[in-house]
A and B are shown apart, each in its own frame.
Chain A
Amino acid sequence: QKEVEQDPGPLSVPEGAIVSLNCTYSNSAFQYFMWYRQYSRKGPELLMYTYSSGNKEDGRFTAQVDKSSKYISLFIRDSQPSDSATYLCAMLWGGNQFYFGTGTSLTVIP
């Protein structure tokens, strides 16, 4: 079993839709959770960083962490074609070794 599981998609939605991206994890020691966006053939770009259960909002993006269920989500409101990318969840427990999901490919259709 992988430490971090993420549905690879692909996910295709119309412009303006609400997008929900999810990851589950097995290691209950994970304390810090991140979402990265990666455009084709580019390095990952940090979107959200959280370290506790609950919600964190930043513009059109909301990160949600449920440690009891070992489940994290990223919601994108009013999705735009420029949001089309691969979204990676990442997590760590102390130290600085990040564990990544496989990424979910998202396409927002104009």
Chain B
Amino acid sequence: DAGVTQSPTHLIKTRGQQVTLRCSPKSGHDTVSWYQQALGQGPQFIFQYYEEEERQRGNFPDRFSGHQFPNYSSELNVNALLLGDSALYLCASSLDWRSTDTQYFGPGTRLTVL
């Protein structure tokens, strides 16, 4: 049973560029959440998708957007990259956004903005 997978593993971009990160949830999970983890910090919630709609959103600007596909996979898009966007971006999947079932994390995509 495959767990949560993310691609790419690493990414280097320059300021002002746009980036797309991808996530496939654990088998049987239909809810995907995205987190940003800066170096030495805990993960910060960006947003959550269920049934192809954004259900919850953390305190992140509109430059951060996402999408969920019918097969439950998801993308995170970040526009107009800033140096401060450099971080590990984590995807987590769970069963049903309304439940309190725990989340399972992928290995993350490390984004470096130069």
Residues of A at under 8 Å CB distance from B?
4, 6, 8, 31-32, 34, 36, 41-46, 49, 51, 88, 90, 92, 94-103
Contacts and interface: CB of A to CB of B under 8 A. Distances in A.
Contacts of A6: 42
Sorted nearest first, the 10 A-B pairs with minimum C-beta distance are A100-B42, A43-B105, A43-B107, A102-B42, A96-B97, A44-B105, A100-B43, A43-B108, A49-B102, A32-B100
A44 B98 contact: no
A96 B94 contact: yes
A101 B108 contact: no
A97 B60 CA distance: 14
B41 A46 contact: no
A83 to B, nearest CB: 19
Contacts of A95: 56, 97-98
A51 B102 CA distance: 11
B108 A97 contact: no
Contacts of A32: 100, 102
Given A43-B4, A96-B48, A103-B41, A51 B100 contact: yes
B74 interface: no
Contacts of B92: 98
Contacts of B35: 100
